[in-house]
Homo-oligomer: A and B are copies of this chain.
């Protein structure tokens, strides 16, 4: 089982990263930091005659990096009660890839994957992060991805997460699951 982590935050060594590294400690992981890439918002051409235009950014390269892996971990700070806009733009673009002749098997390949969400927020994430979890559930259901589980952690300032013993222990459990 090989693992890719998609990081949606932009803070180096942020709380989500700490938690995710704990959950994947000792495992080989392909780490993708969206903050180091440029991803354009989707231009919705699903129903335009000419179809989608090729976009000159880092999006396809990221797709190439995640496709070989069995497990995808979406690791995002909770901004305004959902994933970051950066991660949302990444997922929005899937609509283009679903129609991209260069990726005829995109949905089939994605549907064989398992996924996890790891998210940390400062405002009652155990409650107010639930709509985000439900959004991810719908996203994964649409793609046929199996949603294996999620960890919600509480933290604001960098380092806060080490105080959240519940999240730390969930990360430990996940690590055993991933081995």
A150: interface (CB < 8 Å): yes
Interface size class of A (residues with CB under 8 A): 35 or more
With A9-B44, A135-B132 already in contact, the answer to whether A85 and B89 are too (CB < 8 A) is yes
Quick check: A166 and B173 within 8 Å, CB to CB? Answer: yes
Instruction: Give complex CA distance A131, B82 in Å.
Output: 10
Asked, given contacts A131-B138, A134-B127, whether A44 binds B89 with beta carbons under 8 Å apart, the answer is no
Residue contact B166 to A170, C-beta cutoff 8 Å: yes
* Distance A142 CA – B82 CA, assembled complex (angstroms): 14
- A128 near B123 (CB under 8 angstroms)? no
Q: Indicate if the CB atoms of B127 and A85 lie closer than 8 Å.
A: no
B131 touches A149 (CB 8 A): no
Copies of this protein, total: 4
| Complex contacts, A166 vs chain B, CB 8 Å | 149, 170, 173
Contact status A42-B82, CB under 8 Å: no
Does A10 sit within 8 A of B, measured CB to CB?
A: yes
- Can you list, as one digit per residue, whether each of A42-82 has a CB less than 8 Å from chain B (1) or not (0)? 11101100000000000000000000000000000101111
A10 to B137, CA, bound (A): 25
24 contacts between A and B (CB under 8 A): A10-B43, A41-B89, A42-B85, A46-B156, A47-B156, A79-B95, A80-B88, A80-B91, A80-B135, A81-B134, A81-B138, A82-B135, A85-B86, A85-B90, A85-B91, A123-B138, A127-B134, A127-B147, A130-B130, A132-B135, A134-B134, A165-B173, A165-B176, A169-B173
